[in-house]
Structure 1
Amino acid sequence: MITSSILVLFGLGFFAAVILAVASKILFVKEDPRIALLENALPGVNCGGCGYAGCSGAANAVVDGKSGSNVCVIGGLEAAKAVAAVMGLEVVEMEPELAFRDCTGGKRAEELYRYEGAKDCRAQALLYNGSKTCPEGCLGFGTCVSVCPFDAIHMGPEGLPVVDPLACRSCRKCVDACPRNVLSIISMSERLLHQEEVNDCLAPCRQKCPGQINIPKYIELAGKGDYAGAVNTIRERNPLLLVCGRICPRPCEAACRRTHVDEPVGINMIKRFVADWEMKNNLRLEIPCAKETGHRVAVIGGGPAGLSCAYFLRRLGHSPTIFESMPALGGQLRYGIPEYRLPKKDLDWEIQGILDLGMEVRTDIKFGIDFTIQGLQKEGFEAFFMGLGAWSSGNLRIEGEEAEGVLSGIDMLTAIGLNKPPEVGPKVLVVGGGSTAIDTARTSIRLGCDVTIIYRRTQNEMPAHVDEINDAQEEGVKFVFLTAPTRVIIGEDGHATHLECIKMKLGEPDDSGRCRPIPIEGTEVRYPADTIISAIGQKPSLSCFYSEDSEECPIDFTRWKTVNADPDTLQTSVPNVFAGGDLFSGPDLVISAVGAGRRAARSIHFLLTKGEIPVADNIMRKLIPYTLFKDVDGVDNKCRATMPHLCEGSYRISTFSEVEGALSEEQLKLEASRCLRCGLICYDRDVPLAEIVTARVGEKVE
């Protein structure tokens, strides 16, 4: 009985062995020998950061063509080279990438409700999009920490994820796990290329800045004494921080949330301090650039828009050449802004920092006369940025304005910038109310003249910044408001002797939003003058776009005599030609020109490298309404710093020395402490948030 059972079992075993032997012959799959070689080439830590089941899974993915030589996120470049050697692939070195957090809320973010059962960000997000009032901010439960295979993230004391740059391997697991898109994997170039989107953590000041500078971040760094970090943060968006720290009319401050408490933070004062810190210490902080691409770009115009475009193109790895009609770079910064506001040695220092990145410059060369786009294409230039500026003056459109002694404000300032000051009589009348009018008036005061500004509206409607107007009044410039010129009275020698004007009254608002001035009949009056300066506006000169043998231009213009370009990409009707600055917008702020230069560089980069220019559907084009609330509770009043003046009294108007100075380090820290570090709706309070449950809810934009 036992023997027969053993024989049966033996028979079954023998039968099964035969079947397996036959099956192995039929079903045998030969393993690709490269898999074993790849497993030996990989570090063997089986961390899973690549997204596959250990190094064996990664090796199979490479062989199957599902991943490339850079499959291993922990092995870095050496592992990529080893994998490439096995597979016969080329290794293309990529820019380093790191996880980046775009949120400043954390424990400051108010709660809409409390739900004790959900302790995971993804679970929270399924409950009415999470318990926080901000629709974009971090939910604070650390799901990103739990999924990171490299212990590169921890939750900081503010209730926000903190990334360790030395441990991060850019595996994207934290990005995939975050339901709010708070984390992203981003390189230097991607940071430079990013357009602000409504889903980003944008404080009101940052929304208002035409250059899209991360204002709260650089103020926070400056307040902590990290001046280099503050400078580098500004330079991600603006290479002209020395310039803007002196002359920017700071539209950002008008949107500062602290305005609803006391006064706006002195944003520009802080920028000026850190910019001066770098220059005065002659540090020349390193500005990293991407790998050379070999693409050549012509930047036509060396003003703020052109300098900005060339700077960002170079940082993205391209080879820009700047073409400038004047003897030196700077455009209106050099030839339109007086020395007492922007010392030229400071401008030279800043421009040199841009040129040190490596770019060719050709000065004293005029577009349309000495060179054309067609000629540059033959030289090998692939794309073109037009940043020619607005150098033509507006006319008074009155009888006698062609007389001797009548000149334009921009011509006067340009002549002084060229060290060829025009003859100006002892009594000067300036017509206009913008920055050029103020600059010519204050310049004339320094030339020893008696100066009066004539403006057809009231002081409240003047386009010039209120600080400029106040400075002009302090220096002795007189103002006559609600008065408009009607004709120039000319003497027998052909020289202007008087300016005849008529009184005005304000009517209904016009297209600019300001009240329209209306003449009052019978109120004419004559003002004696030796020199009359017209400063009523500037516009681009478009004649350089036309060749001698053609009356047609392939580039479209607007009815305002500016270049017509896409507002998001700045691409013109000629696909490889882009425009920015005053040539595109008409006379505008320096920071607007800087922002346009970066936007154009972004478009040119994508056109040259990808063949198309991507534009996100949700880029920020106007202020986000739900972030503009005025009930800023729990914040104590703090006095705003006062910008110091370097020279006062009679000496101030007897020299062209710089008028304004920089804050002291102590003043800087106090001013930085006034910043509320705003996010979309979160901000710092002096009163602890404690157990506040708010009714304020943000509006998520899909």
Structure 2
Amino acid sequence: MVKETVLDFANKISRTKRGSRGGVTEVDPEYKILEPIMTDEMAEAGMQLKLREKMSAADVAPLCGKSVERTEELLWELAVVGGAFVNEVEGVNKYWLDVWVPGHMEMIVNNKELIAKYPQLGEAFDAFGKKRGPMAAGNIPVGSGPMRVIPIETAIDGDTRSASYEEVSKYLADNDVFSLSDCACRASREAMGEGCGHLKENMCIQMGHAAEYYIKTGRGKKITREEAVEVIKQAEANGLMHNIPNFDGSGKTHAICNCCGCGCFAMRLATQWQNPDMIRSNYQVRIDEEKCVACGECVEACPTNAMRLGKKLCASTDAPAPEREYPHDTEWGDDKFNPDYRTNKAVVFEEGSAPCKAECPAHIGIQGYIKLAAQGRYQDALALIKKENPFPAVCGRICPRKCESDCTRGDIDEPIAIDEIKKFIAQQDMNAETRYIPTKRWDHGKPIAIVGSGPAGLTCAYFLAMDGYKVTVFEKQPALGGMLTLGIPSYRLEKDVINAEIDVLREMGVTFQTGVEVGKDITLDQLREQGFKAFYVAIGAQAGRKLGLEGEDVEEVKTGVDFLREVNLGNTPELKGKTLVIGGGNVAIDVARTAKRVGAESVELLCLEGRGRMPAHEEEVAEAESEDVLISNGWGPTRILSENGKLTGVEFKACLSVLDAQGKFAPVFDDAQVKVIPADHLLISVGQAIHWGDLLAGSDAELNGNQTLKADALTFQTAQEDVFTGGDVYTGPRFAIDAIAQGKEGAISIHRFVQHGQSMVIGRVKRDYRSFDKQNLLLQGYDRAPRQATAHVCGKQAQKSFRDLRGTFTEAQIKAETARCLGCGTVKADEFMCVGCGACTTKCKFGAIKLERVFDADGADLKTVKKVIIKHALKRKVRVTVNKPFKKIKKIMQSDQAKRA
């Protein structure tokens, strides 16, 4: 049943007449937001209130025919639910009405008890914006919308600053009373289960009469000006920007909102309806491409997706840019809108960008840290790396260097020695004095369990700790690091390197429990009972695989993985005589080189693949050969020979092909080419397996046929909703950098999962960084500066030691090598979509981004803004009508040209 007086009240706030063309009906959000929280009697009292004119209960009582006492009760109830403002003036409560937005909608949603009880309040707030947004597109001039971006103040320092009404500090200085409340937009999103991961708590600052109202009605807590400044600083440090209510008149406002583009209803005007004029400040972004290093920090921070990466190098042919249409002179309907803006944010323009960032699984800002290293800013470079990868010192020693494989410099002479530059930078992490400890971004506090301390689990722990979660890592082995520690020999990755970077996690508050096997010593259910809210399962693939040949069970036959684990744990087996290693990957090479170091008189590695098709890196194969490891390609084992339970040798056949026509593993052997190789020890390194034990007992989580854990490819959430995964246990054996990339995504998902009302995908940046087409570049006129290299390590010397004898670049080499970088990527801006918030400038370490004042619009006043909007809308209508036939003809001509082309 419709509450008739409440419906009348909804029309009163809307300044419409019930039954008129634009009047509010019972199906409109203006009514739906009031219906569950307001009685007709409350509405009767509210009907007597006026827009921004303060009235006491004594003023209202005779108008509504009730006693002063009852009128006071009703008005107070109205104010508590958000149907009216209230301030105390000379000891008397005074009440008044405001506009819907920014006004009553926010006030209603910011009543914590009401939004929890009636989630439809959030739905109504959302629906109100969806109703009004399309109608406003193109019809409101710059500076006349109900909300307006105010630039981050540091972005307009210097000559560009020219109006105090666009400075945060001006509003803070003008007021004496401040409150801090939840963000109404995010509260609404959360109530609908559509949160973007940016949480609502303690986000918005009210000032003056609004602060008094929020404090009085319990919507916000009273804070000092100094505390308000700290809230502003924290918001900016975390990539948020500022909006202010814009109908109080020039240089006046009653609130400062700290917003994100994926949650804010005001920012939706720019992003969903592609109508930034309605929300923008007077500023637009300007890029100095010569200074830009395409690190991508600004791209992911931009709330309107106006910033994307592109290429800096000249192209042999450039396609003409399509002509842009704008809402101020074009019909602006559904075909121009972007309803999926919360899930389709792009990080590169169609042309693509620098290959190094695109090819790195963790998408580190490689060009950025190379530039910082060139400037001698090593601490800044380390901080930039650790925004994506908490283990640069580790990766500097074992990374597969996918970034170098596709480096544009390699099309001229040799790729940049990216890994060596990173290794030099990361040396700071080896010393406690220069170690980079990230600043805690938030303090979310909830306990999270990480099962497995390999690169995926540790990375997940790192990023969760940055958000202030209480993280505990459970590791069944006595040592931390997973396969970093137990599967990689010390001559490639010394243990103090791993431990130094794990110590960073300890300083961040992460707790470690070693020697604890989850599923055996403690179960997931028991951990849930202890209060853990989510689990990240990353136990890796730490078991070896055998060949299934007869004779494998003799003592002298081991898997390579088991062999490396024993050595790394200090239980070094003694190998005498001849050792054979079967396998052609990097692990097999590690096994062979380690076997030389623990006493094998000779080591021969045999694999199915030819030399050019071995999975192992060519450099590592060459290092093994320099240490007297014999590599025999094109042979596969067929029998293991033994006498009296003791290994004597292995029979091999020549391998004619490894894969079938479909690319599947299906080796074909030549029965005529058979040889038997005598052996004292056999180490099999043909893959790794996952040992689950009882970890998933009683869980809904499911396994694939190869025993990897099934999970969503974007969120890494399993069928057991509080269990997430990543690393080798999800993908099968891969590189540490792949696991690191997944660990960060796992942390993002867990944060969203444990916070009420957050979506796993909305507002999540899909980091689809793509390389440009190098075939379309003009690579002429560059120097031929040689690639720098560390001193050669003598294989004869290396095979006698478990120390990593590889050197690190000198500072002079760093200067020389970083100068070789072409700087081929850059950020580019869609200036129309830029709203001038300045969030991008807070992320740039190179002075490549600034805001420039291009508009001169003052703030709006509710008393006069309607006339301004009507005048603008009429002029727009004329422009649209005049331009329509010309645009139609132009489109036909462009279509004809495209067909002829």
TM-score, length of structure 2 as denominator length: 0.58
1:576-587 alignment, distance < 5 Å: 576-587=722-733
Write the distance in 2 (CA, Å) between the matches of 1:469 and 1:582.
23
Is the contact between residue 420 and residue 808 of structure 2 (CA under 8 Å) also seen in structure 1? yes
Going from structure 1 to structure 2, the CA distance change for 1:337 and 1:625 (only over 3 Å counts) comes to closer
CA-atom RMSD, angstroms?
A: 4.3
Asked whether 1:376 is paired with 2:520, we answer no
Supply the AA of the counterpart residue of 1:612.
S
1:120 equivalent in structure 2: none
The alignment partner of 1:522 has SS state of strand
Q: Please point out which of 37, 47, 54 is paired with 2:165.
A: 47
Write the distance in 2 (CA, Å) between the matches of 1:373 and 1:604.
16
Q: CA deviation at 1:507?
A: 6.4
Q: Please point out which of 559, 575, 583 is paired with 1:424.
A: 575
The alignment partner of 2:775 has SS state of coil
Supply the AA of the counterpart residue of 1:97.
E
Is the contact between residue 585 and residue 614 of structure 2 (CA under 8 Å) also seen in structure 1? yes
Deviation string 1:625-667 (CA, Å, 9 cap, x unpaired) is 6544363423524344344247525322111111311111111
1:500-511 alignment, distance < 5 Å: 500-506=651-657
The alignment partner of 1:401 has SS state of coil
Asked whether 1:203 is paired with 2:354, we answer yes
Percent of counterpart pairs with the same letter? Answer: 29
Write the distance in 1 (CA, Å) between the matches of 2:287 and 2:709.
50
Going from structure 1 to structure 2, the CA distance change for 1:677 and 1:34 (only over 3 Å counts) comes to farther
Is the contact between residue 647 and residue 681 of structure 2 (CA under 8 Å) also seen in structure 1? yes
1:272 equivalent in structure 2: 423
Supply the AA of the counterpart residue of 2:211.
A
1:192-591 alignment, distance < 5 Å: 197-199=347-349, 202-280=353-431, 282-449=433-600, 450-492=602-644, 494-506=645-657, 517-547=667-697, 553-591=699-737
Supply the AA of the counterpart residue of 1:611.
Q
Q: Please point out which of 592, 611, 618 is paired with 2:758.
A: 611
Going from structure 1 to structure 2, the CA distance change for 1:635 and 1:409 (only over 3 Å counts) comes to farther
The alignment partner of 1:523 has SS state of strand
Q: CA deviation at 1:287?
A: 1.2
The alignment partner of 1:327 has SS state of coil
Is the contact between residue 641 and residue 667 of structure 1 (CA under 8 Å) also seen in structure 2? no
Is the contact between residue 540 and residue 690 of structure 2 (CA under 8 Å) also seen in structure 1? yes
Of 228-237 and 79-88, the range deviating more from structure 2: 79-88
Write the distance in 1 (CA, Å) between the matches of 2:591 and 2:395.
20
Number of aligned pairs?
A: 575
Write the distance in 1 (CA, Å) between the matches of 2:50 and 2:507.
66
Write the distance in 2 (CA, Å) between the matches of 1:55 and 1:282.
39
Going from structure 1 to structure 2, the CA distance change for 1:394 and 1:153 (only over 3 Å counts) comes to same
Is the contact between residue 289 and residue 826 of structure 2 (CA under 8 Å) also seen in structure 1? no
Asked whether 1:654 is paired with 2:800, we answer yes
Going from structure 1 to structure 2, the CA distance change for 1:194 and 1:580 (only over 3 Å counts) comes to farther
Write the distance in 2 (CA, Å) between the matches of 1:484 and 1:301.
34
Is the contact between residue 204 and residue 627 of structure 1 (CA under 8 Å) also seen in structure 2? no
Going from structure 1 to structure 2, the CA distance change for 1:86 and 1:476 (only over 3 Å counts) comes to same
Going from structure 1 to structure 2, the CA distance change for 1:654 and 1:48 (only over 3 Å counts) comes to closer
The alignment partner of 1:395 has SS state of coil
Going from structure 1 to structure 2, the CA distance change for 1:393 and 1:229 (only over 3 Å counts) comes to same
Q: Please point out which of 823, 836, 842 is paired with 1:677.
A: 823
Is the contact between residue 451 and residue 539 of structure 2 (CA under 8 Å) also seen in structure 1? yes
Going from structure 1 to structure 2, the CA distance change for 1:307 and 1:680 (only over 3 Å counts) comes to same
Q: Unpaired segments of 5 or more residues in structure 1?
A: 1-24, 38-42, 69-75, 102-142, 184-192, 683-702
**Which structure has more RCO (C-alpha within 8 Å, separation ≥ 6)?**
2
Asked whether 1:599 is paired with 2:745, we answer yes
Q: CA deviation at 1:252?
A: 1.4
Write the distance in 1 (CA, Å) between the matches of 2:801 and 2:344.
44
Deviation string 1:508-535 (CA, Å, 9 cap, x unpaired) is 6566588x54100122210010000000
Q: CA deviation at 1:98?
A: 6.0
Is the contact between residue 290 and residue 315 of structure 1 (CA under 8 Å) also seen in structure 2? yes
Is the contact between residue 384 and residue 577 of structure 1 (CA under 8 Å) also seen in structure 2? yes
Q: CA deviation at 1:506?
A: 2.4
Q: CA deviation at 1:84?
A: 3.4
Deviation string 1:444-502 (CA, Å, 9 cap, x unpaired) is 1122321000001111111111111110011110011110000111012x111101111
Deviation string 1:258-278 (CA, Å, 9 cap, x unpaired) is 222112111111100000144
Going from structure 1 to structure 2, the CA distance change for 1:225 and 1:524 (only over 3 Å counts) comes to same
Write the distance in 1 (CA, Å) between the matches of 2:672 and 2:648.
21
Supply the AA of the counterpart residue of 2:500.
W
Of 416-425 and 525-534, the range deviating more from structure 2: 416-425
TM-score, length of structure 1 as denominator length: 0.73
Supply the AA of the counterpart residue of 2:674.
E
Q: Please point out which of 236, 241, 244 is paired with 1:97.
A: 236
Q: CA deviation at 1:87?
A: 3.3
Supply the AA of the counterpart residue of 1:47.
Y
Is the contact between residue 642 and residue 649 of structure 2 (CA under 8 Å) also seen in structure 1? yes
Deviation string 1:413-433 (CA, Å, 9 cap, x unpaired) is 100111101232220000001
Going from structure 1 to structure 2, the CA distance change for 1:391 and 1:66 (only over 3 Å counts) comes to closer
1:24-103 alignment, distance < 5 Å: 30-31=53-54, 34=87, 47-48=165-166, 84=211, 87-88=214-215, 89-90=220-221, 93=231, 95-97=234-236
Write the distance in 1 (CA, Å) between the matches of 2:293 and 2:347.
21
Going from structure 1 to structure 2, the CA distance change for 1:583 and 1:196 (only over 3 Å counts) comes to farther
Q: CA deviation at 1:284?
A: 1.9
Of 625-634 and 245-254, the range deviating more from structure 2: 625-634
Supply the AA of the counterpart residue of 2:394.
V
Supply the AA of the counterpart residue of 1:480.
S
Write the distance in 1 (CA, Å) between the matches of 2:482 and 2:393.
16
Deviation string 1:158-194 (CA, Å, 9 cap, x unpaired) is 48799xx9xx9xxx9x977x965689xxxxxxxxx99
Deviation string 1:518-576 (CA, Å, 9 cap, x unpaired) is 100122210010000000000211233354xxxx6521111221000111110000111
Write the distance in 2 (CA, Å) between the matches of 1:426 and 1:477.
14
1:130 equivalent in structure 2: none
Going from structure 1 to structure 2, the CA distance change for 1:564 and 1:291 (only over 3 Å counts) comes to same
Supply the AA of the counterpart residue of 1:367.
V
Supply the AA of the counterpart residue of 1:664.
T
2:878 equivalent in structure 1: none
Is the contact between residue 325 and residue 367 of structure 1 (CA under 8 Å) also seen in structure 2? yes
